[in-house]
Amino acid sequence: MKIKYLPVSAMMALAIVACKKSEVPETDTAEVEQAVVKTDPVLGTFGVALENMDRSVDPGDDFYQYVNGGWLDRVEIPADKSRHGAFTILRDLSDERVKGIIETAAAKNAAEGTEEQKIGDFYAAFMDTDAIEAAGLDPVQADLERIKSVKTHEDVARIMGDPSLAVRSHVSGWVDVDVKDIDNYIFYMTQAGLGMPNRDYYLDDDEKSVRLREDYKILLTNMLTEAGVDNAAQRAGDVMALETRMAREHWTPTKRRDRSLTYNKMTLNELQDYAPGFPWQISLDEAGLGDQTNFVIRENDALQGTARIFGETPVPVWRDYMLASYMSGMSAYLPRRIDDADFAFYGKALRGTERQRDRWKRAVSQIDGYMGEMVGKVYVDRYFPPASKARMKVLVENLRAVFRDGIDGLEWMDEATKAEAQDKLRKFNPKIGYPEEWTDYSTLIVDRNDLIGTVKSANLWRWNDMIGKLGGPIDRDEWGMNPQTVNAYYRPSLNEIVFPAAILQAPFFDPNADPAVNYGGIGAVIGHEMGHGFDDQGRKTDGDGRQRDWWTEKDAERYEELAGALADQYDEFEPLPGENLNGRLGLGENIGDLTGITMAYAAYRRSLNGEEAPVIDGYTGDQRFFLAYGQIWAIKWREEALRAQVKTGPHSPGEFRANGIVRNFGPWYEAFDVTADDALYLPPEKRVKIW
């Protein structure tokens, strides 16, 4: 059994336990507004970088190009990135800031056990490449010998269950609220075990997929060679064949989205009877989960199939599988030749990235992953003024108010369903900037002279921190992202919308920008996250986070009809020749985008109190709103990365997050005089409006 820390975009909780009171004080909104120091916007004269536009393009033909064409023509993707845009630019800024925080901590020569010592020593150990080269494989030799010594399937299951080891298994999981028993946590199990992103990479027969499989076999061969096995190429082929068998059992990405299918509660005895072939009790005991009586099995028949494959596959093949995955998983902490071999596949072949990220940037990512809230406290103190939090609270409540009105005004929904929807909206819990309680890392041990030991210890600490929630009260204060993360999320099990501090910057949010820009930027993001509570899957949980059907049959049918129309539109988009988007895979995100712009625009218009906004630099208030919306989706892709995004989703590429949404929204047509002669035009009866 192996944990897979799923991204919050997949709506999974991470292992964060609240223990220490925040040292960042709450501030009254009115006082904050009085204290704001007025300066120029970060971008342009009102918050939009007009120099990034391409005014030679008719906005009705290609709104994305109209807003971002100058930037797209001018900017090159940095060599260490597979894509580049608003999110990666802010991530670079966040990394620079975190680096400064880490270096300050490291310079203090802090006492053993302090947060400064842990941050500084982990950073120093990861950055000491001379020591890593000198040590070679000595630090992992004991782990390699342990894997090589397995003789039975029970031995294999025991190693797969060890949460300190970077070894893949056919099953992974996490702890979250039981969505049908919301007063308790439960362990969710999900399909896993593949070294490539999903089943399609193993089963598609196009030329590029075939080439990637060859590249992946090269990686497996290199990892097995480094692990010291003979006939590495042949044995890599056996591992590839094993993963391909598992891939055939895996659910498709689209099917995995369906929450009606992914809640399958079983006792341990029922699981053992349902999926024989894998020694469940042994693996769960090793993972510290042996005393749990109930589990939620997501892709039930996929785990049934891979458990059967586990029992049918000879131990030597599993041994090589574990050796290869261990070496790949630990490659960042091993000599450069191993690290480079791993990057050659996951960076270059899979994503098209030309060179590895600078070592210090990777160190920042490591610290963010293992002890991110240590840094986050300082980040908030330095870079997130109370005024930003106060203004965000106002924006969130404005969006909630217009969403409430929007539900009341729906013609296709009856009163009983509206009452349930309003209850869910009312119970949304917004979290802005940073946690009210900080994670306690006092039991996490960091040894400057033992990088591998520290990583294994941190893996175990993080795992135990997570499973420690089982049997305890629901912690509604935990966060699934650090304050320095450039992202946002909706978590259905707690019915919460969360906006870390680092995304609350231009182009998304700027206290000194024109209000239209903030509504078109962060307002649309707020509305997007609210929209996830009512997208095609989010609508299946209620205001308390309980998964249940609260819809009348008629309303559910009408909703599916509207959502299906939006999915059909996205099926037609072709980011690469011959490779279309999967409208069903991206449906939740696209509904979120459509909901976001709808609610943000309504909130902006309401904020004007019936007045018209002034014209600035030749643009009306409505035009500025849409320009701001378009600029947050600016992004350039390497072809390989774009292909991976199309195959794995669920987010549509930026071009379609802009163009695919505005063409469904009437006020955009009016703002830019879009007519039936324009390429993006949709007749009114074809425009999708859900919320």
For residue 143, the enclosing domain spans 138-356
Q: What is the pLDDT of residues 530-584, one digit of tens each?
A: 999 999 999 999 999 999 999 999 999 999 999 999 999 999 999 999 999 999 9
Q: Give domain status of residue 270, yes or no.
A: yes
Q: Give domain status of residue 113, yes or no.
A: no
Q: Give domain status of residue 335, yes or no.
A: yes
- The β-bridge partners of 3 are 173
Q: Give domain status of residue 115, yes or no.
A: no
**Banded model confidence at residue 463, pLDDT cuts 50, 70, 90:** very high
- pLDDT given at position 37: 54
d(CA 421, CA 542): 8
Cβ(242)–Cβ(273) below 8 Å = no
Instruction: Put residue 382 in one of left, alpha, beta given phi > 0 → left and psi -120 to 50 → alpha.
Output: alpha
d(CA 279, CA 156): 9
Residue 298 sits in the same domain as residue 384: no
DSSP 665: -
Q: What is the pLDDT of residues 103-141, one digit of tens each?
A: 999 888 899 999 999 999 999 999 999 999 999 999 999
Residue 253 sits in the same domain as residue 348: yes
Q: What is the mean pLDDT of residues 165-180?
A: 97
d(CA 453, CA 26): 39
C-alpha distance from residue 359 to each of 63, 120, 346 (Å): 38, 15, 16
Q: Given a cut of 90, is residue 474 above it in pLDDT?
A: yes
Residue 397 sits in the same domain as residue 352: no
Q: Give domain status of residue 121, yes or no.
A: no
d(CA 220, CA 230): 13
Q: Give domain status of residue 111, yes or no.
A: no
* Number of neighbours of residue 283 by Cβ within 10 angstroms: 23
Residue 368 sits in the same domain as residue 352: no
Structure tokens at 211: 């080439």
**DSSP secondary structure string for all residues of 353-410:** --SPPPHHHHHHHHHHHHHHHHHHHHHHHHH--HHHHHHHHHHHHHHHHHHHHHHHT-
d(CA 105, CA 218): 41
Q: What is the mean pLDDT of residues 443-448?
A: 96
Q: What is the pLDDT of residues 353-382, one digit of tens each?
A: 999 999 999 999 999 999 999 999 999 999
DSSP 616: B
Percent of the chain with pLDDT over 90: 93
Q: Domain ends where: 335, 356, 377? A: 356
**Banded model confidence at residue 20, pLDDT cuts 50, 70, 90:** very low
Q: How far is CA 650 from the centre of its chain?
A: 10
The residue with greater pLDDT, 77 or 26, is 77
d(CA 339, CA 319): 21
Cβ burial, residue 135 (10 Å; 0-12/13-18/19+): middle
- pLDDT given at position 3: 41
Strands 18-21 and 437-439, sheet pairing: antiparallel
Sheet containing strand 264-267, edge to edge, reads: 2-3, 171-177, 185-191, 294-297, 264-267
Structure tokens at 404: 């409430």
Q: Domain ends where: 356, 387, 418? A: 356
Residue 274 sits in the same domain as residue 395: no
Residue 406 sits in the same domain as residue 321: no
Structure tokens at 579: 């490779």
DSSP 468: T
Instruction: Put residue 231 in one of left, alpha, beta given phi > 0 → left and psi -120 to 50 → alpha.
Output: left
- pLDDT given at position 289: 98
Residue 375 sits in the same domain as residue 496: yes
The residue with greater pLDDT, 649 or 200, is 200
d(CA 16, CA 2): 18
Task: Look up residue 604 and give its amino acid.
Answer: Y
Q: Give domain status of residue 109, yes or no.
A: no
Q: Given a cut of 60, is residue 22 above it in pLDDT?
A: no
- pLDDT given at position 4: 36
The candidate with the shortest Cα–Cα distance to 582, out of 643, 633, 665, 638, is 643
Residue 495 sits in the same domain as residue 585: yes
- pLDDT given at position 444: 97
Strands, DSSP E only, in 242-372? 264-267, 294-297
Q: Give domain status of residue 341, yes or no.
A: yes
Residue 337 sits in the same domain as residue 432: no
User: SS3 for 258?
Assistant: coil
**CATH number for position 661:** 3.40.390.10
Residue 324 sits in the same domain as residue 372: no
- pLDDT given at position 15: 23
Q: What is the mean pLDDT of residues 438-460?
A: 97
Percent of the chain with pLDDT over 70: 95
602: enclosing H helix or E strand? helix 587-607
Q: What is the pLDDT of residues 674-685, one digit of tens each?
A: 999 999 999 999
Q: Domain ends where: 356, 391, 414? A: 356
Q: What is the mean pLDDT of residues 614-622?
A: 98
d(CA 38, CA 22): 28
The candidate with the shortest Cα–Cα distance to 250, out of 168, 204, 194, 317, is 194
d(CA 469, CA 457): 19
Phi, psi of 333 (to 5 degrees): -105, 5
Mapping DSSP onto H, E and C, the string for 516-550 reads HHHHHHHHHHHHHHHHHCCCCCHHHECCCCCECCC
**CATH number for position 307:** 1.10.1380.10
**DSSP secondary structure string for all residues of 230-248:** SSHHHHHHHHHHHHHHHHH
C-alpha distance from residue 99 to each of 94, 103, 370 (Å): 8, 6, 15
- pLDDT given at position 555: 97
**Average pLDDT value for the chain:** 94
Q: How many alpha carbons fall within 13 Å on the CB side of residue 602?
A: 23
Helix axes 359-383, 115-127, angle to 10 degrees: 160
Q: Given a cut of 70, is residue 19 above it in pLDDT?
A: no
Q: What is the pLDDT of residues 180-200, one digit of tens each?
A: 999 999 999 999 999 999 999
Residue 588 sits in the same domain as residue 620: yes
- pLDDT given at position 107: 87
- The count of structural domains within the chain is 2
- The β-bridge partners of 637 are 83
Residue 372 sits in the same domain as residue 224: no
Q: What is the pLDDT of residues 301-327, one digit of tens each?
A: 999 999 999 999 999 999 999 999 999
d(CA 140, CA 327): 9
